[in-house]
Amino acid sequence: MRTIRQWLDEYSDSHRHPTNKAIHWVCVPAILFSVLGLLWLIPVPEIAAISPWVNWATLLMALAIVYYLILAPALAAGMAVAALVMFAVIYRLDVALTFPPWQLFAGIFIVAWIGQFIGHEIEGKKPSFFKDLQFLLIGPAWLLADLYRHLGMKPVAPTIPYE
């Protein structure tokens, strides 16, 4: 199994252009948010419907947090906080929107993926997930690791070169 450092280094190789990086700072969280929003809306079996917070989105994110925990506990903690914030916004939108929420989440998903592909066109490299689907989980961790680094925190080890 690869280490988080190996994942982040490899992800960084196709995310060096400043415009592509900036696009990723907007689009990766938007894609995660929209996927969680769409999963939130999928009906769950009645036995699991004890709370609006028990749904496919929270189940998927719980599994992702376990994946991040195996790779880097500090990143798992940050992803858990980010997920809780996203879930709170998704829940609020689900109960407050006057139109079907799936339309909003689908629109965000489509626009964000268009942005991602524009960024990779500018970069001149294919998206990492074409090589390995696990990079779909590494993208958010890469952003979080970069945020940690900018805040003076060490998400994994002191020598991670993922700029």
Tell me whether residue 104 is in a domain: yes
Model pLDDT, residue 157: 54
Q: What are the pLDDT digits (tens) for 111-131?
A: 999 999 999 999 999 888 888
Tell me whether residue 161 is in a domain: no
| Model pTM score | 0.88
Q: What are the pLDDT digits (tens) for 135-156?
A: 899 999 999 999 998 888 876 7
Q: What are the pLDDT digits (tens) for 49-74?
A: 677 778 999 999 999 999 999 999 99
Tell me whether residue 12 is in a domain: no
Model pLDDT, residue 44: 85
Average of per-residue pLDDT across 10-34: 94
List the domain range (segments joined by +) for residue 114: 18-150
**Domain count within the chain:** 1
Q: What are the pLDDT digits (tens) for 78-116?
A: 999 999 999 999 999 999 999 999 999 999 999 999 999
| Cβ-defined contacts of 85-88 (< 8 Å, 24+) | 86/32, 86/33, 86/36, 87/36, 87/40, 87/53, 87/57, 87/58, 87/61
- Residues 6+ away with beta carbon under 8 Å from 160: 5, 8, 9, 145, 149
Model pLDDT, residue 48: 60
Tell me whether residue 10 is in a domain: no
